[in-house]
Structure 1
Amino acid sequence: MPIPRKPVEAVLTSHPTYSEVFPCEPSTAETGRRLVRGVLGIWHLDDLADRAELIITELIANASRHTPCSEIRLVVGRPSATRVRVGIADEEPSRLPALSHAGIEDESGRGLLLVDAVADRWGCDLQSAGGRLRGKEVWAELRAGGDE
Structure 2
Amino acid sequence: MPEAGNEPWEYCLYIPNDLRAVTVSRHTLRLILTLHGLIGLVDVAELLAAELLSNAVRHTKRPAALRVRWGSGVLRIGAWDADPEPPGPPLDWEEVGEAEEGRGLALVRACADVWGWQPLTRNGNRGKVVWCELAVA
TM-score (norm 1): 0.79
Q: In the alignment, is residue 64 of structure 1 matched against residue 57 of structure 2?
A: yes
Cα distance in 2 for partners of 1:127, 1:97 equals 17
> Cα distance, 1:133 vs. partner?
6.3
Does the CA contact (< 8 Å) of 2:4 and 2:37 recur in 1? no
Q: Which has the higher helix share?
A: 2
- One-letter code of the match for 1:67? T
Match of 2:87 in 1: 96
Structure 1 partner of 2:75: 84
User: Match of 2:109, SS?
Assistant: helix
Q: 1:105 to 1:17 in 2, by over 3 A?
A: same
Give runs of aligned pairs for residues 131-142 of structure 1, distance below 5 A.
134-142=126-134
Give a deviation string over 1:16-71, Cα, whole Å, max 9, x none. 101111112221121111111111111111000000010011011111222222x1
- Report the equivalent of 1:12: 6
Structure 1 stretches lacking a partner, 5+ long: 1-7
Aligned positions, number = 134
Runs of 4+ in 1 over 4 A off after TM superposition: 8-11
Q: Distance in 2 between matches of 1:53 and 1:112?
A: 14
Give SS of 1:137's match: strand
2:25 counterpart SS class: helix
Question: What is residue 106 of structure 2 aligned with on the other side?
Answer: 113
Letter in 1 for 2:10: T
Q: Distance in 2 between matches of 1:103 and 1:9?
A: 38
Q: Distance in 2 between matches of 1:77 and 1:88?
A: 12
